[in-house]
Amino acid sequence: MRIFLLTIFLGIGISQLTGQDIPPRLYINQTVVASDSVRINYEINYGGFVELHLFDEEGKKVWINGNVKRRLGRYVFQIPSRPLKAEMRYTFFLRYKGEEYHGSFYAI
């Protein structure tokens, strides 16, 4: 229990404590669509640069944003509803440590 709390507090990767190589991974936890914005909740197991690419139904890129996160943890990309059209399906990917993680949503 103490190692777990120390890991969270310091932002130390599990592999640094155990000596095992655990590959970097991003988890898309939830996409929340509201009238004023869309929030993409995600989690990373190491600090690093996370980049969001958002596309409309025709494949046109409508939004791009990137953030450097220094620690493992849960984070949110928030997209304002301004560039989005109601009832249109949007796809996105989050790029993290050379991998892409895909998702989609319908704007309201």
Domains of the chain: residue spans and CATH: 24-106 (2.60.40.10)
pLDDT score at 5: 42
- Work out the pLDDT band at 84, boundaries 50, 70, 90: very high
In terms of Cα–Cα distance, which of 14, 88, 10 is closest to 55?
88
**Phi and psi (nearest 5°) for 70?**
-80, -20
10, amino acid identity: L
CB 105 within 8 A of CB 77: no
pLDDT in tens, 4-41: 444 444 555 554 555 568 999 999 999 999 999 999 99
CB 87 within 8 A of CB 93: no
Assessment of whether the complete model's pTM goes beyond 0.85 = no
Give the total residue count for the chain.
108
CB 50 within 8 A of CB 69: yes
Q: Residue 42 pLDDT > 90, yes or no?
A: yes
